[in-house]
Each structure stands twice: as C-alpha cells, then as structure tokens.
Chain A
Amino acid sequence: MSVDIATVKRVARLSRIAVSEDDLERMTGELNGILGFVELLSEVDVSGVEPMTSVTPITMRKRADAVTDGDKAADIVANAPNSDQNFFLVPKVVE
C-alpha cells in the first residue's frame, strides 16, 4: 500500500500537524519509503495467531478505588503557557 498527497494531507490533519505544501511531497516520499519497508510483513502467515497484548503474562494490578492524590492545582498549571486562576487558557472555542 502506498499513500498519495491527499492522504498525507488527511493524516497530517488527523495528527494535528500543520504541513506546508512544499513539505507534502517530501513527506509523501518518506512515508511511502517506510510503508514499503513494513510491507515485508505481508509474507508472514498469521492465521490463528493471537495478537500480542502484553509481553509479560501478568494480570493488571488494581488498586482500591480511593482518592490517593490531588489538591495540587497550582502544580498542575505551573507549566502552562497561559493560565489564570488555575484554569488553562486557550483561544475562544465557542463564538
């Protein structure tokens, strides 16, 4: 399988990465290079094989459903590019 420029544009949009028209062509070539490389997998017969979900056969440890952390709003917004009264500020979403 290979991708064309329209698909790369769509994937860039899904990835939320702005790609300039100039870069689209380069990216299309690079992505096709990688997709061509992974194409090697098509020769493997995987019928009846379970997909891997965990490399170690463990059951996930669960903790008690209790509050163990929190009350640190100032810490959470400490690194925000723009915040006010412990809220993250973003451009207007609703007109």
Chain B
Amino acid sequence: MTELTNLTISEARAKLKGREITAVELTDAYLSAIDAANGALNAYVTVTPDKAREMAKASDARLADGKGGPLEGIPLGVKDLFATRDIHTQACSHILDGFKPKYESTVTQNLWNHGAVMLGKLNMDEFAMGSSNESSYYGPSVNPWKAKGSDEKLVPGGSSGGSAAAVAAHLCAGATATDTGGSIRQPAAFTGTVGIKPTYGRCSRWGIVAYASSLDQAGPIARDVRDAAILLKSMASVDTKDTTSVDLPVPDYEASLGQSVKGMKIGIPKEYRIVGMPEEIEKLWQQGVEWLKDAGAEVVEISLPHTKYALPAYYIVAPAEASSNLARYDGVRYGLRVDGKDIADMYEKSRAAGFGKEVQRRIMIGTYVLSAGYYDAYYLKAQKVRTLIKRDFEEAFHAGVDAILAPITPSSAFAIGDKELAADPVKMYLQDVFTVTLNMAGLPGISVPAGLDHKGLPLGLQIIGKPFEEETLFKTAHVIEQAAGKFTPAKWW
C-alpha cells in the first residue's frame, strides 16, 4: 500500500468516498508525518492533533451516512494569518503572543463546512511581510528542496513559506495562504507546488489578519492544479461580512481542467524581460510559450509599460495601509504588553518589543508617507500610478489577449540567512518584481511548476488572467502541468 500522505486531494477524496480509507487513518498519517518532519522543516507553529482527530471522526460518520461534503475528511494546514476559534492565531508575530480568537475566519469556516480537517497553523513571515519566511517570530520554515549535492538549507519563500513547505513535504493535503504582493505564488514556485491568488474580492478577507487591505487576498497552495481548483472552490464565497467580497457565484473550477486552450491568445509582456534575468528563467519562459503553442494557443508580444513602477508604488501603498492596520496592536486589548511609566510609554515599549525589524520598517515607512506634507508626493502619487498599472492590463485584455504568461521569480530558492539579501531590504523586495503587478491591479494569477534549474531546484511560471476568470488560469495551468510534469523533493528530513 502506498503511503496515505502521498495521495493528492482528488485521490484521497475518491478513496474516502469509496470507504477504502477512513478520515481518521488519513489524519493520523499526516499527524505522524508532521511529528517526524516538523523539527527539521519548522512548517507548523502549532499542531492541533486532538481537534484534527475529532474532526476526522465526525467526517467518517458523515461519510458512512453518505453525507460527505466536497472536502470531507481532507486534512489541511492553515496559515497563521487566518483566525481559528480558540486556536493559536498570531500572524507569527511576538506582539500577538497568546492570542486565541473567539471567532473563525470566513475562509476557514467554509473549509470546515465542506468537511475539511484542520491539522494546525502554518509558519509565515511576520504579518505576511517578507519573501523568505525569515521574519517569522518562530524562526524560518525550511524548504524541503535542496540543491543537488548541497546540504545548505534553503528558504521556502514567503510570506506563505510554511504553507508551501508543508504542501511540498506532504505534511498536509493542501494549505490556505494569502497573497499581498506575491506571498502565495513565490513560495509555490520555490517549492514545486501550485498556488493561485484569485481576483481581489473572490475570497472573503473577514477574519484574516490585515496587512494591506486593498491588496490582501486568500488562496490555496496545493500539490497540483486540480487540488488547487478543488480548494479554491471551497475557500471562495460571497460574504456579507466583507464589503469588498464580490457578489458573483463561485464556479466549479475543477470542470475547467482538461478544456482546450486552442485559439486562446496568450500575451508575453516584453517589460518582464528585465535586465540581469538569468538565462534559465528566460529559457523556461520560452518553453512555456512552446507548450501553449503546441496546445493550439496563439502567442503574441504585449506591452505593459508601467511594469517597473509597480514595485516602488507597492512599497508606498502596502506600508501605508499596514501602518494603519497595525495601529491596533497597542498592548491593551490582546497580545503582548510591556509595562511603561505611562500609557504612551506602554504603547511604544510594547510595539518595540512585539514587532520584528521588517514590520517596524514598514510601519515607519507607511507612517512617513502618510504624514502631513508627504501624503500627496508619495501616497496619492502611488495610487495614481496604480491606476496606470491597471490600465496597462485592461488595454492588453481589450486588444484580445485572454491571459498573460510570465515568470514568477527572478531565481530559484535562495539560502536561509543570505547575507546580501539580509543587508539590503530593497534587494529582498525585488523578489516580488513579477508578482506584485497583479495585486496592484487586483487580477488573478496562478503559479505552476514548470521545471528544475541547473541546481535541481523548482522554477514556476505564472499565468495572469482577467478579473474573475480563474477558470482560464486553471485550464491553462493544467496544460503546462501536463507538459512539464510534477516535481517532488527527495526526502532528507
């Protein structure tokens, strides 16, 4: 018998429904795998074995009655950014020490309503600010992939690094994640997994710890395109508790897999060919073009002239919104409190002790660009640039392009503690150069593994679509997956 943890969601779903395996067996297999691996990978910051077994038992009862939901008995990991009732929810920050919410996020509630089982909370960059998972208060999660012949520990990407590591190492069947500037797609690319950031408004943000509210969007990280489609179908909903949740029915994404891309027009943005882009990334991109052409798609070059301004505009808009969102952490209502001589001193000491360096930097930048005299020069200007970035995409789509193919990352996974990246925050920000444009425009994007580099590390390709056309992304990503195959790391942990 093959190991239960090797089953994809769609495979496990069939076996659970056919009563070949039980949800309790499957959950126990994952709990054992986590036990054995988490010391090395640090993917989970909290494991909830009792809760998991209890949920699995309930799933088995429902399956026995023939009443199983779409995710009945499927064990999932949850990014620490999602509020889970009475369970560790700290955005991997020291400032939320001990926080256990009395409510459940809409996205996780949707998953439990569909029968999923919660294994625990996953590691991430503090408040989702980072591209390497190194800013977590709980220490970095480790990438299950290693370069050929090397023992160096690599980052799983970020901010959803724990989600990506856990999915790649089969420590959960799938995971929730969030993407503000690339936090689903970049870690997916670094770990050979599939990640989709849906259109802004597709998944409810209610109960997700806010970083930059106009950019934050939840989505799944999964082992293959089909599993990502299954998960997004359950995560997405129309939610009256989030005023930006869009009132559109959730389609059956899985049904789009296997549909033809014949006659589709795929745009290749010339501005994404950045100076210093490694030849391997360029080659992979070209390979993606060939695969789609072979499948009958038409490929055209397009121009998105404001691409290079997306990242600098992001580093005004996101910190500005973060400085406002993170004002609530003051040591009064929840989390860490450091006593001071008066209330202002208590705020300042609590926030100094509770926020890590990167979070402090972004709050400071945000406070500065919103402060009197600078608002117009920075924030207003950035919001105008954002309009131009969105317009670029709209014009491309208007000219007949159905989807855009682009790289995800400027490199494969880098080492934990990379000195060059640690010394210069802006260098780390450049990790998001291909991903952040979508968030600025609110568009959906999927990251699909497309090959390995010369070090034997996974690389991904990104497909960008029109608003609420996630189905186009799934069917196109499926074509690439069929051509490229799937990638699993060799077990060393």
Contacts A12-B364, A17-B351, A56-B199 given: A81-B331 contact, CB under 8 Å? yes
In the bound complex, do residue B361 and residue A88 qualify as a contact, i.e. CB atoms below 8 Å apart?
A: no
Closest to A82 in B: B337
A86 to chain B, nearest CB (A): 12
How many whole Å from A36's CB to the nearest CB in chain B? 8
Rounded to whole angstroms, the CA-CA distance of A14 and B199 in the bound complex is 34
For chain B, what secondary structure do more than half of its interface residues adopt (helix, strand, loop), or is it mixed?
Answer: helix
Docked pose: A54 CA to B199 CA in angstroms = 13
**Looking at chain A's contact residues, is the secondary structure mostly helix, strand, loop, or mixed?**
loop
How big is the B interface, by class? 35 or more
Are the CB atoms of A27 and B364 closer together than 8 Å?
Answer: yes
Nearest residue (CB) in B for A88 is B332
Q: Mask for A46-74, Cβ within 8 A of B = 1, else 0?
A: 10011111111010110100000000100
1/0 contact string of B309-343 vs chain A (CB within 8 Å):
10011011000000100010011111111011111
Q: With the chains together, A41 CA to B331 CA distance in Å?
A: 37
Which residues of chain B have C-beta atoms less than 8 A from A79's C-beta? 98-101, 333-335
A31 touches B384 (CB 8 A): no
Say yes or no: A34 contacts B425, CB within 8 Å: yes
Interface centre among A31, A34, A53 (most CB of B within 10 A): A34
Chain B residues whose CB sits within 8 angstroms of the CB of A34 once the complex forms? 315, 361, 365, 425-426, 429
Cβ–Cβ contact B201 & A56, under 8 A = yes
Q: Is the CB of A14 within 8 A of B371?
A: yes
Q: Say yes or no for B272: interface residue by CB 8 A criterion.
A: no
- Do B352 and A31 touch across chains, with their CB atoms under 8 A apart? no
Please report the C-alpha to C-alpha distance between residue A92 and residue B348 in the assembled complex, in whole angstroms.
16
In the complex, chain B residues 37-56 whose Cβ is within 8 Å of any chain A Cβ? none
CB contacts (< 8 Å) of A1 on chain B: these are: 374, 377
Chain A residues 7 to 47 lying within 8 A of chain B, measured CB to CB, are 7-8, 11-19, 27, 30-31, 33-35, 37-41, 44, 46
For B441, the closest partner residue in chain A by CB is: A55
Enumerate chain A residues within 8 angstroms of B246, measured Cβ to Cβ: 56, 58
Q: Is A5 an interface residue (CB 8 A)?
A: no
Closest to A74 in B: B102
CA distance A25 to B365 in the complex (A): 15
Interface string of B361-401 (1 = CB under 8 A from A): 10111011001001001101111111110100000000000
B344 part of interface (Cβ distance < 8 Å): yes
**Which of A16, A77, A78 has the largest number of chain B CB atoms within 10 A?**
A16
Cα A34 to Cα B246 with chains together (Å): 34
Nearest to A37 among chain B residues (CB) is B426
Please tell me if the beta carbons of B348 and A38 are within 8 angstroms of each other in the complex. no
Cα A11 to Cα B308 in complex, Å, equals: 28
B422-446: CB near A (< 8 Å → 1, else 0) gives: 0011100100000000000110000
Q: State which of B102, B312, B368 has its C-beta within 8 Å of the C-beta of A3.
A: B368
Q: With CB as the reference atom, state the residue of chain A lying closest to B215.
A: A55
124-163 of chain B: CB within 8 A of chain A: none
Interface assignment of A93: CB less than 8 Å from any CB of chain B: yes
The interface residues of chain A lying within 8 Å CB-to-CB of B351 are 15-18
Shortest C-beta distance, B34 to chain A (Å), equals 26
**Which of A33, A58, A61, A81 is within 8 Å of B426, CB to CB?**
A33
A75 at the binding interface (Cβ < 8 Å): yes
Complex Cα distance A50/B332, Å? 39
Residues of A within 8 A of B199 (CB): 56
State A56–B244 Cα separation when bound (angstroms). Answer: 9
Q: Considering the complex, give the chain B residue whose CB is closest to the CB of A39.
A: B312
Q: Is B200 an interface residue (CB 8 A)?
A: yes
On whether the beta carbons of A17 and B348 are closer than 8 Å, the reply is yes
Which of these, A12, A52, A78, contacts B390 with CB under 8 Å? A52
With A16-B347, A55-B441, A91-B346 already in contact, the answer to whether A44 and B388 are too (CB < 8 A) is yes
Tell me which of B309, B330, B333 contacts A40 (CB under 8 A): B309
Query: Top 5 A-B pairs ranked by shortest CB distance?
Result: A55-B442, A51-B383, A79-B334, A81-B337, A18-B348
21 contacts between A and B (CB under 8 A): A11-B367, A14-B371, A16-B347, A17-B348, A17-B363, A27-B361, A27-B364, A31-B364, A35-B365, A37-B429, A41-B382, A41-B385, A46-B384, A46-B385, A51-B380, A52-B387, A52-B390, A61-B243, A72-B102, A80-B334, A81-B336
